[in-house]
């Protein structure tokens, strides 16, 4: 993400969402986030964020598959939680199916 005021660029996680009802009701297609450097609010498209979230879900999916295939199950619950949290705003059906798949794989691996 890039601040519209100072030009700072960084990951979305650094730009904290402003949940002020003035912003959320006035621009439903936009998200307001505060820059970590200048603390000024910038507006970002919710569709852009959705696209980023979908890409991150795909990456998490691959990381989980790799961890399960390698037998490195310690990180899987953390990645699974992250997938569920990301999907809360997207409500993508395939994520729910994949989480159920992960759960069955984890149960099988535990005996």
pTM: 0.63
- 17 Cβ partners below 8 Å, 6+ apart? 31, 32, 33
Q: Where are the domains of the chain?
A: 12-46, 48-109
Residue 2 in this model has a pLDDT that exceeds 70? yes
Cα–Cα distance between 8 and 100 in angstroms, integer? 39
pLDDT, averaged across the chain: 85
What pLDDT, on the 0 to 100 scale, is given for residue 22? 60
């Amino acid at each position: 993400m890039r601040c519209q005021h100072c030009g700072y660029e960084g990951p979305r996680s650094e730009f904290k969402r402003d949940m002020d009802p003035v912003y959320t009701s006035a621009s439903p297609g936009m998200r307001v986030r505060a820059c970590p450097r200048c603390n000024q609010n910038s507006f970002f498209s919710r569709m852009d964020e959705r696209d980023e979230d979908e890409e991150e879900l795909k990456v998490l999916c691959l990381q989980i598959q790799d961890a399960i295939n390698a037998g490195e199950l310690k990180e899987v619950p953390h990645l699974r939680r992250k997938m569920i949290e990301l999907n809360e705003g997207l409500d993508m059906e395939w994520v729910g199916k994949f989480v159920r798949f992960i759960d069955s794989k984890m149960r099988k691996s535990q005996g």
